Amino acid sequence: MPSLKNKTIIITGASRGIGRAMAVKFASEGANIVAAAKTLDKHPKLPGSLNETVKAVQEAGGRGVAVRMDVRFPEQVQNMVDTAIDIFGGIDALVNNAGAISLTPVEKTPLKIFDRMHTVNDRAVFLCAQMVLPHLKKAQNPHILNLSPPLNLDPRWLKDYGPYTRSKFSMSLLTVAMAGEFKKYGIAVNSLWPKTIIATAAIEFAVGDKSMLQYCRKPQIMADAAHLLLSSKDLEWSGQLFVDEDVLRTRGIDDFNKYAVNPDFSDKIKKDLYV
């Protein structure tokens, strides 16, 4: 399996949670990390920052740079790409991790919130992929990884949280579309989603139930699965909508207890919304 050593990887939403865990995991193999998000130093409500992520990347053995940016704005995305090129000389992978969530039905979702989920979720996948594409074409073994779920049109997946689900399913559709379109360039494009709920700010703040954290897994399970996907070679995997457990099982990993936030609740972990 190819190493990520000296590979340059852009990760959006890298100031905390899954994005930060991925940054540290990739850095442990010597990757260069472009950590991008809106929180450079300190968020008024949430823990974690880009500067903390870059420090953790360096401590793990990689090189990192923090880029304060908002995926809704093309000029800021372009600055992120330009920074990666200026500092590291190229781009080998893009991880579209930044996300916006509101678990509300159509009737109770303000247009402002609908638009935010669209621009931060699926529109950002389109925008970021389009801007890194010229550089991925020059890379050896390039990848795009979108954090979005498997597609299922059963109404039970859509009826309660239609606006959010639409934005995430659109990301998955873009995965399949770009995998086919970019195959001629040797660029692998996949999606990754957790089998269970993950201990992130979305659980603690968006869902509003801090007690749920003890029924979660740590973000490291997503980081480990993402590492395997970005390390795959020659379009071994492309156009797939993966679940983290399934990726790890392909490499003989089937003991997931170590990822439990509370080991005493490892057999009570809650499944994710879309699995």
Amino acid, single-letter form, for residue 189 = V
Half-sphere exposure at residue 91, Cβ-oriented, CA atoms within 13 angstroms: 28
Phi-psi region at 121: left, alpha or beta (left = phi > 0; alpha = psi -120 to 50):
alpha
Return all residues near 44 (Cβ < 8 A) that are at least 6 apart. Answer: none
Instruction: Name residues whose C-beta falls within 8 Å of residue 114's C-beta, 6 or more positions apart in sequence.
Output: 163
- In the set 164, 215, 259, 274, the catalytic residue is 164
Helices 50-60, 17-27: crossing angle, 10 deg rounding: 30
How many angstroms separate the CA atoms of 194 and 213, rounded? 15
For the question of residue 274 being annotated catalytic, the response is no
Of the candidates 13, 79, 18, the one whose C-alpha atom is nearest the C-alpha of residue 50 is 13
CA distance 125 to 255: 32
Asked whether the beta carbons of 256 and 205 are under 8 A apart, the reply is no
| Phi and psi torsions of 138, nearest 5° | -90, -10
As annotated, the active-site residues are 164
